[in-house]
């Protein structure tokens, strides 16, 4: 998701459903991508990462998909829970470099 003005795009899902959060990145030279979760009033928390030599990586209840052709990244959350409610940011980096560039963020709201 990309921010539009001052409003974060919001994804609302029912508890137990699967969630898919999307991100478009801009730098074709980026070779390392990270998803972060940010709860209100807290700093970003690492969820999962993926390097450009992969197109899919799975963690516990989360899967990241990378499509380098269209510069698209997605985060899939299985069996979404109320505790998953937060803002999710993708970030891109060059392994050789230091700096992270963050996407605009998507707010995930889980309805019980």
Partner 1 sequence: GAVVSQHPSRVICKSGTSVKIECRSLDFQATTMFWYRQFPKQSLMLMATSNEGSKATYEQGVEKDKFLINHASLTLSTLTVTSAHPEDSSFYICSARPTGTGNQPQHFGDGTRLSIL
With beta carbons less than 8 A apart as the criterion, state whether 13 and 85 touch: no
With beta carbons less than 8 A apart as the criterion, state whether 18 and 75 touch: no
Residue 41: CB minimum distance to partner 1, A: 7
Distance of CA 2 to the CA centre of its chain: 11
Residue 36 is a binding residue for partner 1 (CB under 8 A):
yes
Which member of 34, 64, 66, 108 binds partner 1 (CB under 8 A)? 34
Residue 51 is a binding residue for partner 1 (CB under 8 A):
yes
Residue 29 is a binding residue for partner 1 (CB under 8 A):
no
Which member of 26, 28, 29, 43 binds partner 1 (CB under 8 A)? 43
Residue 8 is a binding residue for partner 1 (CB under 8 A):
yes
Mapping DSSP to helix (H, G, I), strand (E, B) and coil, where does residue 5 land?
coil
Residue 15, token pair as written in the block: 């508890």
């Amino acid at each position: 998701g990309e921010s539009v003005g001052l409003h974060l795009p919001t994804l609302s899902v029912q508890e137990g459903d699967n969630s898919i959060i999307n991100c478009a990145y801009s730098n074709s030279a980026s070779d390392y991508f990270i998803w972060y979760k940010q709860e209100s009033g807290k700093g970003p928390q690492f969820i999962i990462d993926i390097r450009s030599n992969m197109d899919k990586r799975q963690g516990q209840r989360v899967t990241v998909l990378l499509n380098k052709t269209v510069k698209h990244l997605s985060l899939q959350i299985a069996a979404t829970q109320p505790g998953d409610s937060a803002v999710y940011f993708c970030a891109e980096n060059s392994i050789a470099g230091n700096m992270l560039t963050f996407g605009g963020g998507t707010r995930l709201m889980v309805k019980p």
